[in-house]
Amino acid sequence: MAEMPYIDLDKCDSCALCIPVCRCGALVLVNNVITLIETEKCGWCCECEEICPLSAITCAFEIVFADE
């Protein structure tokens, strides 16, 4: 199973702002509910997390710099 961002549907108001920023088409509205389609193409760009005005998307992927 591909790792994907997490959407908190209690926060999401289905504004759809996140859909056009997703480069892999993983975000769609299904019956007016934002839905993530699992895809290996998710580039973990986290644009969806950044654009969401309600902080409803959490991108699990953080860039961590290893100690030198």
Smallest distance from ligand SF4 to CB 65, Å: 20
Establish if 58 lies at the interface with ligand SF4 (CB under 6 A).
no
Element at 27 (helix H, strand E): strand 27-30
Which of 13, 33, 35, 60: binder of ligand SF4 (CB under 6 A)?
13
Structure tokens belonging to residue 11: 């926060």
Smallest distance from ligand SF4 to CB 20, Å: 10
Establish if 21 lies at the interface with ligand SF4 (CB under 6 A).
yes
Rounded-to-5 percentages of helix, strand, coil across the chain: 15, 20, 70
